[in-house]
Amino acid sequence: MDFATKFKACWNKSSAFTPRARSSARLESESETTRRKTHAPRCEFDGRFSVARRGDGAYLLYARANANGVSNKRGRFGGRHVQVALHRGDPGTKGWGPFRLIEVEGFVGGRSFENLYFGAVNAVAGYLLGLFPLSSPGRHAIVAAFSCDGVHFSKFLDVTHAGNAGAGRTFHQPFDGLVVEKGRVYAYVQENVRGLDMDRYDDDPNYPTAPPRVVRYGTTLVALARRAVAETRGLAGC
């Protein structure tokens, strides 16, 4: 069997998470946050995961939530959002709570035209910092938001324009992970990601002509902490 045939076979399989077969953590697969009729109430888990540890020692697992249950004529749903589950003990053991959608100040998720493609959340400067590829009407950007409890996030701040790749995706996407050294913190973004839309080819004239590359963004820990304090003032969970 050649690679293309293998890939097609894997793609056609259900991507619903089976906790008993695939994880000793026994993650809950039933979710009110997933509404696509093709899988609901099971989570598809068809996006990237992110794990962060809160200040009180609790672990937070972030995954994609397909929160819109109505597809368009092309069979596309949109409405991607981010969901989170919490564990207060050893994350490799049973004890994960149910998934719930994250809440972002000033943002209503789950609508077909709003897409948070995934969340990359990390602890830094006493807060949780989330980076998200956002595809929204008139706004396609890598956005940042701060949180204290990992569920409630401050309003989105644009880090950089990310381009409209269609199908609710952006051309640029953040890495999950931060580098902290010598009083500075760095985040990384992959630009011009290829193969984002199954209905388009990488040589599509609407795709960027520049090759993929990694770009670093940085600031001081002091400046980041000050901004976090300002952005989370009055935020739920803080």
> HEC string of 141-166?
EEEEEEECCCCEECCCEEEEECCEEE
The rounded distance, in Å, linking the Cα atoms of 221 and 219 is: 7
What is the number of structural domains in the chain?
Answer: 1
SS3 130: strand
Residues of the chain with pLDDT below 50 are 1-30, 73-75
- For residue 85, the enclosing domain spans 15-232
Question: What pLDDT, on the 0 to 100 scale, is given for residue 41?
Answer: 59
The verdict on residue 80 lying in a domain is: yes
The verdict on residue 4 lying in a domain is: no
The verdict on residue 132 lying in a domain is: yes
Question: What pLDDT, on the 0 to 100 scale, is given for residue 51?
Answer: 96
The verdict on residue 8 lying in a domain is: no
Question: What pLDDT, on the 0 to 100 scale, is given for residue 67?
Answer: 76
The verdict on residue 75 lying in a domain is: yes
Instruction: Sort residue 123 into left (φ over 0), alpha (ψ -120 to 50) or beta.
Output: beta
Question: What pLDDT, on the 0 to 100 scale, is given for residue 28?
Answer: 44
Question: What pLDDT, on the 0 to 100 scale, is given for residue 99?
Answer: 86
The verdict on residue 85 lying in a domain is: yes
Question: What pLDDT, on the 0 to 100 scale, is given for residue 71?
Answer: 58
The verdict on residue 1 lying in a domain is: no
Question: What pLDDT, on the 0 to 100 scale, is given for residue 182?
Answer: 95
pTM of the model: 0.80
The verdict on residue 165 lying in a domain is: yes
